[in-house]
Amino acid sequence: MSIVQLPFKSRFSSAPDGLKLHVREYGSMLDPGVPVVCLAGLTRDSADFGRLASALAAGLKGAKRRVLALDYRGRGLSGSDRNWKNYSLEIENADVLSVLAAMEIEAAVFIGTSRGGQHTMLLSATRPAVIAGAVLNDIGPVLEPRGMARIRAYVGKLPEPRSIPDAVDLLKETMSERFNGLSEADWEAYARITFTDAVGRICQRYDRNLRKPLECLDLEQPLPTLWPWFDGLRAVPLLIIRGANSDLFSAETLKEMEARHPGAEVHTVDGQGHAPLLLDEDTINRICAFVAANDSAAPEDY
């Protein structure tokens, strides 16, 4: 499968506290398919969804549709917060709601990777009517301490690479044990997404202060679970993606999620850990088919 990366518009809006927030917009409000909103992981941003968003906007497996991919505060082209304590789920979720209002999104399918999946679950409490369907990418209501410890060990602490080959080596050093199914082309694509800006310059794409909330976690104590938020998704179509080698999202948690949401679909990405990159053909096809299936149930004014 050859997916042509579509052009996107950079849109900016304001958070409730006035901070600048950036959104990539693919497609048009006039496109007939249910809109899609993509929410990235903790230190990730809208660039992660370039290939998937292009496929969705172009109408792979269904209608053409508008796709929005958000940069949380302190990531991508959004403004950084002077107060690192504002890098919290509650503040960021308010930002997401602000962006949805500014972009005139009344309902959408949400694709959430890791932290983005937490935001999707939280939306079931803060604005449930906006969720027409959900894709949770390697995230559930229970976070495994081993995975959290690994993430805490590198966030905000990795050196900035000097070149793309250097970036590839850095990613392999931190990820290859869990991502043993990637080709060299995959590693290079992911390195460019992670470490370069729109014109290909090497840069840091997130505020290093994101490490500070992680440093406050006591991983010797059980982490809070999010089952009430997940249970809020019972009424909407759900696709759960898990990396076969994930150390953050366990098979046991997945099993419990299936029991609580009997209609949920599950897709396992072999050779990848936390979190699947959403770059491979099988996963993109599966997500696009899931989203297209929601078009038939969409209100006519979408």
- pLDDT tens column, 131-179: 999 999 999 999 999 999 999 999 999 899 999 999 999 999 999 999 9
Judge whether residue 232 has pLDDT over 70: yes
Predicted pLDDT at 298: 52
Mean pLDDT of 86-99: 98
Judge whether residue 296 has pLDDT over 90: no
Predicted pLDDT at 222: 87
Q: What is the DSSP string of 79-120?
A: PPPSSGGG-SHHHHHHHHHHHHHHTT-SSEEEEEETHHHHHH
- The answer to whether the CB of 286 falls within 8 A of the CB of 55 is no
Predicted pLDDT at 1: 53
DSSP element (H, E) containing 29: none
Judge whether residue 301 has pLDDT over 50: no
**What's the pTM value of the predicted model, to 2 decimals?**
0.96
Q: Tell me the percentage of the chain whose pLDDT exceeds 70.
A: 97
Predicted pLDDT at 297: 58
CA distance to 40, 41, 164, 269, per residue, from 84 (Å): 19, 17, 29, 33
Cis peptide before 53 (omega within 30 of 0): no
- C-alpha atoms less than 13 angstroms from C-alpha of 67 in its C-beta half-sphere: 28
Band of pLDDT at residue 102, cut at 50, 70 and 90: very high
Predicted pLDDT at 154: 93
Helical residues (DSSP H) of 158-197, grouped into ranges: 164-175, 184-195
> pLDDT, tens digit, for every residue of 236-285?
999 999 999 999 999 999 999 999 999 999 999 999 999 999 999 999 99
Judge whether residue 302 has pLDDT over 50: no
Q: Say which amino acid occupies 260.
A: R
Judge whether residue 300 has pLDDT over 70: no
Judge whether residue 2 has pLDDT over 80: no
Cα–Cα distance, 271 to 85 (Å, whole number): 35
Mean pLDDT of 89-113: 98
Predicted pLDDT at 162: 94
Cα–Cα distance, 50 to 52 (Å, whole number): 6
Mean pLDDT of 71-86: 98
Which residues is 67 bridged to in the sheet? Answer: 26, 36
What number of other Cβ atoms are within 10 A of residue 224's Cβ? 9
Mean pLDDT across the chain: 95
CATH number listed for the domain at residues 9-145+225-297: 3.40.50.1820
Judge whether residue 44 has pLDDT over 50: yes
